[in-house]
């Protein structure tokens, strides 16, 4: 009887396990003059532990985004990686470079984004290839992807203000997609791309850095160095 009582006391005294959970809102902006939409995402940590990975349009083994994402963006300290899955479906894995950039409980983080041909209605619908899931069903993890159980949730989609000019938004300061942001290697890769040798897939960086449809212009160079310095597109 005494042993059972001791176990009960310890059970009551042990802290609740930390839970990872999140909500997110994707705002879709039609790009006037193009078939594309620019999507910006705000992630809210609603759990009791950190979020170090946000994997959009994905569960382990299945990808839900119908069209190839391009011009991905990520918050400072985070990286965006495009994965192509079965049946020409896609997902975007956003992950923090180190625990210093993890999203803390109760905090929100902006700066996740991508451009694609998928309109808001498509993103809100069920996946064509995996109809048990929505196109924006996603996972968050405490740290690295699949290092813990994670949590599945659905990113909500809202229609944003249409944007004129046909621009798709700027590319990433991690131009060569090696996980290190704003390095000499990124600068070298950018100018190599301007000269005709761009990073290979799945990296989507291009010489049209500002997404205005004109490739390798002074405006692209200016936009690249603004983003490299931490500024807006």
Long-range interactions of 217-221: CB distance < 8 A, separation 24+: 220/194, 221/194
**For residue 211, what pLDDT band results from cuts at 50, 70 and 90?**
confident
Tens of pLDDT along 151-185?
999 999 999 988 654 444 678 888 888 877 788 89
Tens of pLDDT along 49-106?
999 999 999 999 999 999 999 888 899 999 999 999 888 899 999 999 999 999 999 9
**Whether this model's pTM surpasses 0.85:** no
Phi-psi region of 53 (alpha: psi -120 to 50; beta: other; left: phi over 0): beta
Q: Which domains does the chain have, with CATH numbers?
A: 22-159 (2.60.40.2230), 184-228 (no CATH)
49 token code pair: 């532990």
List CB contacts of 178: < 8 A, sequence separation 6 or more. Answer: 185
Residue carrying the six token digits 């991508």: 114
In contact, 90 and 65? CB cutoff 8 Å: yes
Dist. CA 189–CA 198, nearest whole Å: 7
In contact, 139 and 147? CB cutoff 8 Å: no
Tens of pLDDT along 100-155?
999 999 999 999 999 899 999 999 999 999 999 999 999 999 999 999 999 999 99
pLDDT at 9 over 70: no
List CB contacts of 111: < 8 A, sequence separation 6 or more. Answer: 40, 73, 74, 75, 76, 78
């Amino acid at each position: 009887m005494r042993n059972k009582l001791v176990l009960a006391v310890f059970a009551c005294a042990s802290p609740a396990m930390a839970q990872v959970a999140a909500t997110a809102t994707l705002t879709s902006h039609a790009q006037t003059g193009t078939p594309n939409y620019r999507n910006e995402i705000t992630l809210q940590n609603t759990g009791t532990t950190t979020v170090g990975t946000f994997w959009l349009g994905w569960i382990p083994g299945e990808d839900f985004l119908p069209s190839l994402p391009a011009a991905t963006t990520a918050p400072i300290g985070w990286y965006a990686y495009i994965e192509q899955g079965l049946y020409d479906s896609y997902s975007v894995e956003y992950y923090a470079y180190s625990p210093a950039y993890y999203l803390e409980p109760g905090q929100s983080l902006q700066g996740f984004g991508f451009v694609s041909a998928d309109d808001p209605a498509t993103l809100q619908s069920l996946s064509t290839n995996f109809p048990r899931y929505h196109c924006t069903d996603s996972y968050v993890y405490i740290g690295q992807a699949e290092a813990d159980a994670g949590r599945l949730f659905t990113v909500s989609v809202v229609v944003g203000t249409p944007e004129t000019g046909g621009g798709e938004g700027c590319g990433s300061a991690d131009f060569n997609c090696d996980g290190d942001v704003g390095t000499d290697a990124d600068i070298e890769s950018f100018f190599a791309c301007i000269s005709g040798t761009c990073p290979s897939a799945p990296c989507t960086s291009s010489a049209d850095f500002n997404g205005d449809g004109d490739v390798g212009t002074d405006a692209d160079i200016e936009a690249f160095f603004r983003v490299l310095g931490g500024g807006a597109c």
